[in-house]
Structure 1
Amino acid sequence: KRAAFRDWEYWGRPVPGLGDPRARLLVVGLAPAAHGGNRTGRVFTGDRSGEWLFRALHRNGFANQAASVSKSDGLRLRDCYIAAAVRCAPPGNRPTPAEFRNCQAYLEREVRLLTALRVVVPLGAVAMDAFL
């Protein structure tokens, strides 16, 4: 744990995707950040990459607020769903091939459930490879 979060109870379990089940936009990230999604239990929540992502989604009408710091902060996504290629925070932020294989079925299921999906935005080459 980082000193800044030493009093926090970490989620420490697989982090599910979040968003609008009728979404036409899917954003795919790599994995929950060790002190972001792994701490809060919500992908891209409470970390630097989430600050950038939610600000951009809000600016473009996909989120009701520009920041997300906890699961209970009131964030709602409109026409957008966010998922991760790997659901657990990998050591050193580098998932192993086995971790990708273990999580692939979850991402595939999320994609199948998004029946209105039209656009996929993978955040990085690893997320793109996992989606493809």
Structure 2
Amino acid sequence: MVHWAVLSDDEARFPVTRTPAGVVRAARATRELTVLDQRISGCSACPRLVAWREEVAEVKRASFRHEEYWGRPVPGLGPADARIAVVGLAPAAHGGNRTGRVFTGDRSGDWIFAALWRAGLANQPTSTHVGDGLELTDVRVAAAVRCAPPANAPTPAERDTCSPWLARELDLLPRLRVVVVLGGFGWTALWPVLAAAGYAIPRPRPVFGHGAEVQLSGSRGPLTVLGSYHVSQQNTFTGKLTEPMLDAVLTRATELAGSDG
């Protein structure tokens, strides 16, 4: 007699991936961004991150105690025809981990979405919750690690486990021409992803810095990687990153993305 397992609604919607090897297989097998988003949202391959994101979602911050937290990995946001990708660090515990949308519901998100709006890449300057009317044009926003990490610090192993998701996401953007990387962690995480995608990576690997610009060649055509300080409060409150500095990077990204018609 065959016993069929009954899946919960969440398990049916978000297929569970439990191991690093499973992440590799699931990412490689995905052909559509919408499916990739669902698979990312069901990932449980990093036990430390799973425990933390779920604890935060249960305990909550007092100011959000009446809200239902997402408490899952956070997928990317933006259309499949995007020519620009913006890659950050990881969801915030009470931001993306709460709202279920990348860079949404925290001060970092306030900065990046306002900048995308000023650059003509978003239809509004704010992102507060899923269903708030936000639409992105020509840009896809994602993170190197998809779960909120303790102390906002993923381990190298967690970064590497998550990297196939990012690799597949970028691969499913056929018009991609520019990647804007927010912060040194994302900068480090990106190079193995691009090398695996067939891009020729300079050696030694380029050093991160605000305004850094690296031109790459590959079978899919040219790609430019731009560096920017992360939109963290540590940088924005101290003036290490200002609005004009961030705007300059995104202006450069749009210039480069449009240069090939």
Shorter-chain TM-score above 0.5: yes
> 2:153 is matched with which residue: 94, 116, 122?
94
Deviation at residue 112 of structure 1 after TM alignment:
0.4
State the number of aligned residues. 132
Residue 101 of structure 1: how far off its partner (Å): 1.7
Shift of 1:7: 1.0
Out of 156, 168, 179, the residue aligned to residue 109 of structure 1 is 168
TM-superposed deviation, 1:98: 2.0
Instruction: Tell me the SS of whatever aligns to 1:50.
Output: helix
The percent identity for this pair of structures is: 65
List structure 1 runs of 4+ shifted beyond 2 angstroms: none
Structure 1 or 2, whichever has the larger Rg, is: 2
Report the Cα distance in structure 1 between the residues aligned to 2:177 and 2:159, rounded to whole angstroms: 24
CA distance in 2, matches of 1:61, 1:86: 27
Q: Please, which runs of 5 or more residues in structure 1 have no aligned partner?
A: none
Residue 4 of structure 1 pairs with residue 66 of structure 2 = no
1:56 is matched with which residue?
A: 115
1 or 2, which has the higher helix percentage?
2
Other-structure match for 2:98: 39
Q: Which residue of 1 aligns with 2:16?
A: none
In structure 2, what is the equivalent of residue 24 of structure 1?
A: 83
Q: Distance in 2 between matches of 1:130 and 1:64?
A: 29
Distance 1:42 1:98 in 2: 24
SS of corresponding position for 1:18: coil
Instruction: Provide the rounded CA distance (Å) in 2 between the counterparts of 1:9 and 1:99.
Output: 26
What is the TM-score when the length of structure 2 is the normalising length?
0.50
Determine the C-alpha separation between the residues in 2 that align with 1:45 and 1:29: 12
Equivalent residue in structure 1 for 2:178, among 116, 119, 123: 119
Structure 1 partner of 2:202: none
Structure 2 unpaired stretches of 5+:
1-59, 192-261
**How far apart in 2 are the matches of 1:102 and 1:41?**
20
SS at match of 1:19: coil
- By relative contact order (CA 8 Å, sep 6+), the higher-ranking structure is 1
Q: Which residue of 2 aligns with 1:76?
A: 135
Question: Partners in 1 of 2:174 and 2:185 — Cα distance?
Answer: 24
- Residue deviations 1:55-93 (CA, integer Å, cap 9, x gap): 000011000000010011011100000010000000010
One-letter code aligned to 2:133: G
Secondary structure, aligned partner of 2:159: helix
Q: Distance in 2 between the 1:131 and 1:63 partners? A: 24
